[in-house]
Amino acid sequence: MSHTRRSASPHRRPALPRFLPTLAWASFVANVGIIATGGAVRLTGSGLGCPTWPLCTPESLVPTEEMGIHGIIEFGNRTLTGVLGILAILVFLLVWRLRRERRDLFVLAAVVLVGIVAQAVVGGITVLTALNPIIVGFHYVASVVLVCVTAAFLGRMREQPGPRERVVPPGFAILTHVNSLVLAVTVFVGVLTTGAGPHSGDAAVGRNGFDAVWLSHVHAWPGYILTALTLSLLIWAAIRRLRPLAWLGALLFIVAVQVVVGIYQARNGLPPFAVGVHMVLASLAAAAQTLVILRLKRNASATATN
């Protein structure tokens, strides 16, 4: 009888719209995908394949035959932005009727929608400033943030609404947030390193003025610290059987592959494909860390019944 009462919690998860999980996953994958296509634009020297914005040329929305493959690559990246916008609108509309019961999902969906619109504008500024490395770096970081928000949406979508409480030791929670800070520093220094390196998006584009070789070594330091901290958290979670264990395993795997790719690209003259993989893996690491943070807490009523 008492179990029946606990199950009838006021925070029972309302039924989600039928297509919401599919569209939410599509939004996450597309946001990761646009990092890959954006990397392709830069790494193939197609950054000014469409030299104007919002049109591809002053006279045409789409690339002309004379623009060749660079115009196609750049326009393809712009087209994917439109797909992101459509997916964000659909997700937002589906959670609109749940905006009171699932305010968390509504806010996350709104952030993604506004963020994609803002990213389209930043993309235009990137072209109009002739691929200024600072603007390009900001464009990438903003895309990583959107990947994290879409990952958070997927994580929260699987859980009940209502008050949440921490379900890990205080020290574990603190170390997890330190891990987030180290990851952020790693990505930031990586952006500076890329902005100093040879892959500018166009042969005529200047770099940010930093020493790329020196920065590549500085970039490695927080990367190694991130690996050690993640391993420590994984061992702690395994011993105590803590809730973030599975996502910590995923994070450690991504970070370990990232270290290997980083070493490979540094020793082989920064091959474009390896650099592109490195960019995508950084976004996946940030997404996994986001889900680790979410699993530091749990719905209070769910905790009470376990």
pLDDT in tens, 274-300: 999 999 999 999 999 999 999 999 987
Task: Flag the least confident range among 108-112, 212-216, 292-296.
Answer: 212-216
Give me the residue label for tokens 């709104």.
110
Quote the mean pLDDT of the chain: 89
Q: Which residues pair with 165 in a beta bridge?
A: 298
DSSP string, 35-97: HHHHHHHHHTT-TTSS-SSSSSBTTBSS--GGGHHHHHHHHHHHHHHHHHHHHHHHHHHHHHT
Give me the residue spans of the domains in the chain.
Answer: 18-158, 165-306
For Cα atoms 45, 51, 56, give the angle at the middle one, nearest 5 degrees.
Answer: 110
Q: Which residues pair with 164 in a beta bridge?
A: 299
Backbone torsion region of residue 131, taken as left when φ is above 0, otherwise alpha when ψ lies between -120 and 50, otherwise beta: left
Structure confidence at residue 173 as a pLDDT band (50, 70, 90): very high
CA dist 91 and 108 (Å) reads 10
Distance, first Cα to last Cα, the chain: 16
Say if domain 165-306 classifies as CATH 1.20.120. Answer: yes
User: Averaged over 26-52, what is the pLDDT?
Assistant: 91
Structure confidence at residue 195 as a pLDDT band (50, 70, 90): confident
Residue 94: predicted pLDDT? 95
Is the distance from CB of 81 to CB of 34 less than 8 angstroms? Answer: yes
Phi, psi of 57 (to 5 degrees): -130, 165
What are 48-92's pLDDT values in tens digits?
888 888 888 888 888 888 788 988 999 999 999 999 999 999 999
Structure confidence at residue 131 as a pLDDT band (50, 70, 90): confident
